[in-house]
Amino acid sequence: MGRKNRSPEENERRAKIRELLQARNISSMDDIQNLFKETIAEFMENGLDAELDDELGYSKYDYKNKETDNSRNGHSSKTLRTSFGDVEVSIPRDRKGEYEPQLLKKNQTSISQDIEEKILSMYAKGMTTSDIENHIRDIYGIDVSDTTVSRVTDKILPIAKEWQQRPLETVYAVVFLDAIHYHVRSEGQIVKKAVYIAIGINLDGRKDVLGMWVGETESAKFWATVLNGLRNRGVEDIFIACTDNLTGFSAAIEAVFPKTEIQNCIIHQIRNSTRYVSYKDLKALIAYLKAVYAAVDEAAALEALEVFAQRWDKKYPKISASWQDNWPNLSTYFKFPQEVRRLIYTTNAIEGFNRQLRKVTKAKSVFPTDDSLLKMLYLAMMDITKKWTGRRQDWSVIHAQLAVFFSDRMPD
């Protein structure tokens, strides 16, 4: 903006800045940097003194309005790192030690920490680098580059990898296993990669993401690596594993956790069954399928499957054949009462999580590296799971039923 276009307020502000520069004999960038450091110290100290006034309920020397037996108790010094260099700040104290500074937290040693936290929070919600740059400029008046955003978010990588290797519980009631796919740049080419995700429900009914692994396209072989990784981190038993119908998946689970009951996702099976069904047949065909998966018990389900085959095999012969071939792992939930059935017959628990991940990552059509993908997924996961604070409302009923079915494996 040129001089002619400045508002009267801006002209007045510029005049005051000129007066300050002349009074301080500012003649170099070093002088300006030192002035900035003093300004930061003054801003912080004024703000902290005002905070303590609010905490105590009276301002300094205003003893008439004092209604507390607490009082000021001098200052302590703190060195604060800033982009202009180290700044000494005087922190006010109260006699009882009850004052908790908010403007400058007790363990905070840099004013960049707050900005870094904002960058991580925005990154976790899927904002693009340019969006983050604009928001930081609007909020703080500071320019950050995409290199700075990457440097800040890269600090998460060792934390994410440590999280990936953390010890797990010995027994999980249910573990949901699924994969979500992304495009990643690799050796000059864009390749499709699978992110393998495991979500567990422990014996207290609490849900937790056990891990996220970036691998090549989804395969039973890689799933075996994931399952062995869970065992190496302390998992000794899984009562029920809920999965999609990937070829070889069941064999991979049985090789690592041989006692685990396997339930293939009914919703996946329905989707696969209706993929090539004519639109005019869809509603009627799904009604026949519902008679199978919503049957009261396995015997009734098999009868309904036979009825389905008689009605639809001439037109769609592969559908009933697929249900019959996969029946051992599609029918597992019929062994259990309704509460457990509702929990395990679909992988909705993990698909809902995957939908939230997709929402966060939709702005990124291609990730430059596996690490950049893991970094964003980890931050998004931490943001999503903040809401996972309680257990299922029906867990006491489910736990009692699991205790009957898995009595010999239920820990004391």
Q: What is the pLDDT of residues 304-340, one digit of tens each?
A: 999 999 999 999 999 999 999 999 999 999 999 999 9
The tokens for 92 are 């006010």
Tens of pLDDT, residues 248-286: 788 889 999 999 999 999 999 999 999 989 999 999 999
Residue carrying the six token digits 């100290």: 45
Instruction: Output 342 or 129, whichever has higher pLDDT.
Output: 342
C-alpha 22: how far from chain center? 52
Q: Does the pLDDT value for residue 140 go beyond 60?
A: no
- What pLDDT, on a 0 to 100 scale, did the predictor assign at position 237? 96
The tokens for 156 are 């998460």
Confidence of residue 288 (pLDDT cuts 50, 70, 90): very high
**Phi/psi zone of residue 7: left (φ > 0), alpha (ψ -120 to 50 degrees), beta?**
beta
Instruction: Output 122 or 274, whichever has higher pLDDT.
Output: 274
Q: Does the pLDDT value for residue 63 go beyond 70?
A: no
**396 contacts: CB under 8 Å, gap ≥ 6:** none
With contact defined as beta carbons under 8 Å apart, do 95 and 73 qualify? yes
With contact defined as beta carbons under 8 Å apart, do 184 and 367 qualify? yes
At residue 62, what are phi and psi to the nearest 5 degrees?
Answer: -90, 60
Torsion, CA 348, CA 352, CA 357, CA 360, rounded to 10: 160
Tens of pLDDT, residues 75-98: 888 887 766 677 888 888 888 888
C-alpha 31: how far from chain center? 45
R_g over Cα of the chain: 30
With contact defined as beta carbons under 8 Å apart, do 88 and 77 qualify? yes
- E strands along 106-231, which residues? 171-186, 189-202, 207-215
DSSP 390: S
Tens of pLDDT, residues 370-407: 888 888 899 889 889 988 888 888 899 999 999 999 99
Sign of CA dihedral 368, 374, 375, 376: positive
- Angle between helix axes 370-384 and 146-154 (nearest 10 degrees) is 70
Q: Whose CA is closest to 144, among 158, 160, 130?
A: 130
